[in-house]
Structure 1
């Protein structure tokens, strides 16, 4: 049986993303700080941001960009990203965001698939961007290099060219429910990347859904280190924080010292992270050299956060640690522990190992992948695991030019199959067990890699770890651990295997170990298991 979210439904206005975020901004908020550049401290007010978005939309319209066109953005987190991204949407076009680490070939593939008409980037990424854009036939005047620096930028429009004319934003008309606002690409951790079609209504809905439970207010100073090109950073930072009229401290990339310096210098109050950052915050000795007392809330997402690890960070930094769940296809947030942990909003505290309750306006099912039957919701305790299905206004329109994949993911009744195994308790609180496709099958038993990873991270000699299924001499799939040894520690494969053997059921034991320098991860913090399997 399905179960609904436990909150009151929220109103989802039938408007564009721009109108939702900025259309009703109060006069008193216009001169609040919207963006702070972590590199030099430069600030942008909401008044300046809205003005630059309007100017960008006007410039794009003058260049023939409008409804039905796709503009690609290849950039790290910089203040100009917000201007360009929302300028594209304001002009009625669709933004497809590219991973800032992409090679020319990867850029080319996305430009072709998305049918991008224009590419916006920065000089640091110009070589690979130009190579890809020219291969697919994008004209030089449609390759905008924002900072306009270096020889590669010669002959291309820059930010001054885009904004300097001060052209008014165009009047555009489209249906927010069906018009595609953004086209991010799924990470490809379990297959080829696919364009995820998200409408204006999808993005508006998701900000509206998380607004009453994330606890973010206008006085918050939010650290934006998660990439804006990924749907996690795009929604919970670039959109949700701006809707709350908070201030975003924009970091181009994660660097531990710069992260800590930004928190101390700008008095960060609210931070969104992925589990690898939590590992560093819990274990790295340099953390004690900085004053991080301003942070009151930290939210982990993009991959499962172990409860012991999360509690270690919360205790060390004296903050409230929360966890959420989502995916690109859900715009992305479908579950979140509320800002008070659930004590006031739900009357019960959510375990940090969980991802909390479903966000407003959504329904869930837990489905046995073997039988297709719904897993029974217990009157007390926790259910058996099954695949998590979600239905709501944040469910994507579909995959671009891929009806077969869309039909496999969004099934009858509008239910989206997440591909994640989860359990639910009597209150409706959901816990993610592991990826359905990443479960290791050992002699018929299912072994969740995330469980073993969480256990191994409790070993002080292990700095980081990833577990995947590998094959032994008999062809049997077994758990294999890729281990990063902590600085100054000595560790053998036998010690790693003994550590797990003493703490888990026999079928879950790690049976192979390989030591590596770093665990490969996507920009959002997901372990790239397919790279390790190679």
Structure 2
């Protein structure tokens, strides 16, 4: 299905050497001495193809795929705690995960397809637990450690969880959630340095079992088309839903990142790149892009359980990671926090931003702190796509776009009637590819709304794609502000506000207006030691936008509310300030 490519248009594009991009052999390329390239990623049906050569997806489960090259880096460190320096080699991760898997099957009667919840911060045991569940034939559903008992209860019921693994300090909250859910099932307590809480099972005993019979795992019968991960996402609208990601989805997305957009150096006997994993592993960005993919290519993970300025800066100095995968608030922090120096960033070879729009001013501040232009990449994705959809190539300086579709991915830009639009036109972005989820768990209504024309995923994001396939995200479709019938993108106005020399961070939402239908209002956080009046900021922004986009009201805040991956919580702002 994904190998089918309709007849392409032909465009003539002037490019420079640094813009030359590999093209699939089906795209009719002619490279001339004048550096002109005759090519197309647009088909006659206005479908956009990836400019990169298609990949073949290995028919392996996630755990099989990750450890397929174990012999190449068995003795290298796989994961280390950025706080305690507790670490595991690749061989230890593999061995411990399989012992854990045996005990899940034998002591808890886990069967193929059973769902097991992981309620943990970023710790070195996270990969062991994840691969152990998968090796046992289970499905991993991840939970946010800051969830309330009610939120845990909801996910337990929706996912049909039959076992949960959590930290010692979270056990009381899990027990409360089980009471609310009227469920009784085992709680495995991650007791690294202490005895387990009463009524829980010791994780240490399950992984340090030297008598585990590994032949038990021969009973497991899981294929690459089976569900592996069940993260929860709100999708384009509504309450969180279980996103069914198959082994094929995850393996595809890992392979898609090993192509021309590769950001890491290959692991060898004498070299191993490391990456800081501060993005939460319960979220698909941290789980798939940072943990699963990087372990599949032999990198070293440095985990931090949560964002704290001092621990982050210490980890940068001590562990000297080459790769930083961050959300915009973290890049904002690195560029503005007084204690950050070039020393903290001297070993970094690539910074990747995703999860939310990033103003160019924030990138420039990061360059100033580093005292050099660190190779910078932006990506676009969503949980439902495992998660990566597109990325810029390492070293391409950009803040306006999110690169090109990854291999094997096709895109459409559509209007409200689902009719395909052409180059440069703004509409909703649709995605198709082997990394796109199987669907939402037990939610046929949501599936009917998110999938169109059988297998095209609606992203809920407004975007435009130029003649070469370069993608620019405009905003969330549901967050657009309608002023006198005009569409106003909050992200555009936020970027304008952050250009003001006194503004550190900003958010924009739309509120009802009896004359215009809606009007944009802004929220601003000042840089330390700098102030400005609301009138000054409003005048600054008004000079830079069309009349219907003008902000007429500014509220000053200590911080902009955001979720764990950096997305602005506009709903929270509306609930608090717009009653």
Match of 1:159 among 193, 203, 227: 203
Contact kept, 8 Å, 1:275 with 1:303, in 2: the verdict is yes
The alpha-carbon distance between structure 1 residues 452 and 340, as it changes in their structure 2 partners (threshold 3 A), is same
The equivalences for 1:12-411 within 5 A come to 12-25=57-70, 27-62=71-106, 63-139=108-184, 142-147=186-191, 153-166=197-210, 167=212, 168=214, 170-171=217-218, 172-177=220-225, 179-187=226-234, 190-212=237-259, 213-217=261-265, 218=267, 219-288=272-341, 290-317=343-370, 318=372, 319-341=374-396, 351-369=398-416, 371-377=417-423, 383-411=424-452
- Offset, 1:313: 1.9
Match in the other structure for 2:41: none
d(CA) in 1 for partners of 2:382 and 2:565? 11
Match in the other structure for 1:455: 496
Match in the other structure for 1:527: 568
Helix, strand or coil: the match of 1:431? Answer: strand
Match in the other structure for 1:2: 47
d(CA) in 2 for partners of 1:187 and 1:22? 32
d(CA) in 2 for partners of 1:147 and 1:456? 47
d(CA) in 2 for partners of 1:193 and 1:496? 36
Match in the other structure for 2:42: none
Please identify, of 513-522 and 248-257, the stretch whose mean Cα deviation from structure 2 is larger.
513-522
The alpha-carbon distance between structure 1 residues 446 and 514, as it changes in their structure 2 partners (threshold 3 A), is same
Contact kept, 8 Å, 2:263 with 2:350, in 1: the verdict is no
The equivalences for 1:432-471 within 5 A come to 432-471=473-512
How many pairs were matched up? 517
- In the superposition, the TM-score normalised over structure 1's length comes to 0.93
- Offset, 1:199: 0.6
Unaligned runs of 5+ in 2: 1-45
- Offset, 1:458: 2.0
Contact kept, 8 Å, 2:50 with 2:405, in 1: the verdict is yes
Helix, strand or coil: the match of 1:36? Answer: strand
- Offset, 1:150: 7.7
Please identify, of 202-211 and 305-314, the stretch whose mean Cα deviation from structure 2 is larger.
305-314
The alpha-carbon distance between structure 1 residues 482 and 312, as it changes in their structure 2 partners (threshold 3 A), is same
d(CA) in 2 for partners of 1:10 and 1:232? 21
Q: Per-residue displacement from partner, 1:265-287 (whole Å, max 9, x unpaired)?
A: 11111000001111112222221
Backbone CA RMSD of aligned residues = 1.8
Contact kept, 8 Å, 2:327 with 2:566, in 1: the verdict is yes
Unaligned runs of 5+ in 1: 342-349, 378-382
d(CA) in 1 for partners of 2:278 and 2:58? 29
- Offset, 1:416: 0.7
- In the superposition, the TM-score normalised over structure 2's length comes to 0.86
Q: Which of structures 1 and 2 has the bigger CA Rg? A: 2
Runs of 4+ aligned structure 1 residues displaced above 6 Å come to: 148-152
d(CA) in 1 for partners of 2:409 and 2:367? 29
- Offset, 1:455: 1.6
d(CA) in 2 for partners of 1:189 and 1:314? 34
d(CA) in 1 for partners of 2:350 and 2:430? 28
Helix, strand or coil: the match of 1:375? Answer: coil
d(CA) in 1 for partners of 2:452 and 2:559? 38
- Offset, 1:462: 1.9
d(CA) in 2 for partners of 1:195 and 1:351? 34
Contact kept, 8 Å, 1:123 with 1:149, in 2: the verdict is no
Helix, strand or coil: the match of 1:170? Answer: helix
d(CA) in 2 for partners of 1:155 and 1:97? 22
Contact kept, 8 Å, 1:148 with 1:157, in 2: the verdict is no
Q: Are residue 506 (structure 1) and residue 542 (structure 2) matched?
A: no
d(CA) in 1 for partners of 2:137 and 2:203? 20
d(CA) in 2 for partners of 1:38 and 1:133? 32
- Offset, 1:522: 1.2
